[in-house]
Amino acid sequence: MRADIHLIPSSPLPRGISERSVVVIDILRATSVIVRALSQGVLEIIPVATVEEAFEMAKRCPPDTTFLGGERGSRKIEGFDLGNSPGEYGTERVNGKRLILTTTNGTKAFHSVSAGRVIMAGSFFNMGAIARHCLDLGRDLLVYPSGDMGRFSLEDTVCGGMLIDRILKEGKEPVALTDAGQSALLLYRRFKENPVEALRLSTHGSDLIKRGFEEDLSYCARVDITGIVPIFRNGVIRIGEGI
């Protein structure tokens, strides 16, 4: 198995993605919201790129079981039901419903890697489950940090490094790392005792603090609180069946 990470989202995707497992990571905060919402009983999530698409999609879904979530400029979008703080997605609000989600970077990332063989949503919340599923699949891995407007992001890369670290520790077969994979691993080891430090140092983390969302940083840094593996297939994210 070979483990790679796509450090710069705006750079061209590597060849052979259609044979690889892909893990999309947007710690602050799209994939943290996705994992949290599904763990609290959301039936499915439709990630869309724009606010207009979200409203259009909502018109085609049953209104009593569909709700809109996401952010622009980190804040809840006018006319939406929820913002992009994972703590908002408690079972009493979301259980049994369909979420249409649009965020600045994270929801677009799923569409950028839609050619992947198996596409998962990863966060600190479900890191152990994602690592085990990648090992079970046994395919070459591409970690896809969704970054910040096409740029490198510290927090997503540190989480990607944690995934690589788990795979190296738990895998029975040898794992070859690309230079990017090796770099993410080294970065993760710098922050492994205190991942929230990486979130606080990151550009998006400090923007979230300035905008009043400081609590989301420690919330999103909680590790292994659920065993679900969300899978993106045919435009929809659901908990993987038989996982």
Shortest Å distance, C-beta 49 to ligand MLT:
11
* Beta carbon nearer to ligand MLT, 66 or 146: 146
Shortest Å distance, C-beta 60 to ligand MLT:
23
Q: How many residues bind ligand MLT (CB under 6 A)?
A: 11
Provide the mask over 48-87, with x wherever binding to ligand MLT is found by CB under 6 A and - wherever it is not: -----------------------x--x---------x---
Binding-site member from 106, 122, 145, 230 for ligand MLT (CB under 6 A): 106
Q: Please give the structure tokens belonging to residue 28.
A: 């602050």
Indicate whether 112 belongs to the interface with ligand MLT (CB under 6 A).
Answer: no
Binding-site member from 4, 26, 155, 156 for ligand MLT (CB under 6 A): 26
Indicate whether 202 belongs to the interface with ligand MLT (CB under 6 A).
Answer: no
Shortest Å distance, C-beta 124 to ligand MLT:
14
Quickly list DSSP for the chain.
-EEEE---TTSPPPTTGGGSEEEEE-TTTHHHHHHHHHHTT--EEEE-SSHHHHHHHHHTS-GGGEEEEE-BTTBPPTT-SB-S-GGG--HHHHTT-EEEEE-SSHHHHHHHTTTSSEEEEE-GGGHHHHHHHHHHH---EEEEE--BTTB--HHHHHHHHHHHHHHHHH-SS--EE-HHHHHHHHHHHHHTT-HHHHHHHSHHHHHHHHTT-HHHHHHHT--S-----EEEETTEEEEPTT-
Binding-site member from 21, 39, 66, 103 for ligand MLT (CB under 6 A): 103
Please name which of 26, 67, 27, 29 lies closest in space to residue 46, comparing C-alpha atoms: 67
* Beta carbon nearer to ligand MLT, 88 or 165: 88
Indicate whether 9 belongs to the interface with ligand MLT (CB under 6 A).
Answer: no
Binding-site member from 9, 23, 25, 29 for ligand MLT (CB under 6 A): 29
Choices 34-42, 99-107, 126-134, 179-187; region in contact with ligand MLT by CB under 6 A: 99-107
Exposure class string for 175-190: b at 16+ Cβ within 10 A, else e: bebbebbebbbebbee
Binding-site member from 30, 100, 121, 175 for ligand MLT (CB under 6 A): 30
Residues in contact with ligand MLT by the rule CB under 6 A = 26, 28-30, 71, 74, 84, 103-106
